[in-house]
Amino acid sequence: MTSDCIFCKIIAGEIPGQFVYQDEQVVAFRDIHPIAPTHILIAPRKHFDSVHHVDASDEPLLGHLFTAARLIAEQEKVSQSGYRLVVNTGAGAGQTVFHIHMHLLAGKPMSDKLV
């Protein structure tokens, strides 16, 4: 845990979050500023600032994010209608919380434009 990371604090239960999924490797909770009817953040329990801080040894954990995303999409009943997964890396790409995480977005038609 990084002491100044808001996601680490949510994961540790120091800040409330509306959890929709959790296991020993990842947690998922609803975004407090959703941009789609379904907007869930999926984050590893292990802290990484961004994609630039992972290496080959992290592949099983990061692959598990996709497995969790599939399970969450099924749970949220959006797997058949479709959903988008987004990972922002760096401030220039829109990353505002520097704890690697995936956005699961669904519930409205998505355009081909960038999120």
Q: Which two tokens stand for residue 80?
A: 């058949």
Is 101 a residue of the active site? yes
- Coil, strand or helix: which one is 88? coil
How far is it, in rounded angstroms, from Cα 2 to Cα 70?
A: 28
User: Which one of the listed residues 33, 53, 101, 103 is annotated catalytic?
Assistant: 101
Q: Which residues are catalytic?
A: 101
